[in-house]
Amino acid sequence: MKVVADSMIWVSYFLDPNLFRCRVLEEAFDQRVRFFASDYLIEEVVKAVISKLEAGSRYGVRIRHRLKRQTRLVKLPDQIPRHVPDDPGDDPIVETAIRADADYLVTADKKVLKLKKIGNVKIITAAE
């Protein structure tokens, strides 16, 4: 199974190992789910975690390295197509899932969840 987890899911993973989203990721790792990410997604996660923890850039390097170890990188095109009408900032995350030919995009973003499916990618919550 191929999955893209959005930045909110990864941020939860790095902030608190007791959160439900973290446990879902850990279970997926145990079941050998293949995760995909883009440089855009990784940088979004790094910025959010550093900001929330008020951590330095060295911590960002560790997060970046860990994400690159746990995911396979896909390259995004220079021009990202529009996918999320209400929030163009989410388009690169959706495009990451499309480029990865993912089975699922796991997100907590209500605007992205409204899409339900794009191409062959089903858009679901961590609980689903």
CB-CB neighbours of 110 under 10 Å: 10
Predicted TM-score of the model (pTM): 0.91
pLDDT in tens, 89-101: 899 999 999 999 9
Question: Tokens representing 16?
Answer: 């608190």
100 neighbors 36 (Cβ within 8 angstroms): yes
CA nearest to 71, candidates 99, 109, 113, 110: 99
Name the average pLDDT for the chain.
91
pLDDT at 16 over 90: no
pLDDT at 17: 79
pLDDT band at 36 (very low <50, low <70, confident <90, very high): very high
pLDDT at 113 over 90: yes
pLDDT in tens, 45-87: 999 988 877 777 788 888 999 999 999 999 999 999 888 888 8
pLDDT at 117 over 90: yes
Rounded to the nearest 10 degrees, what angle do helices 39-53 and 7-15 cross at? 40
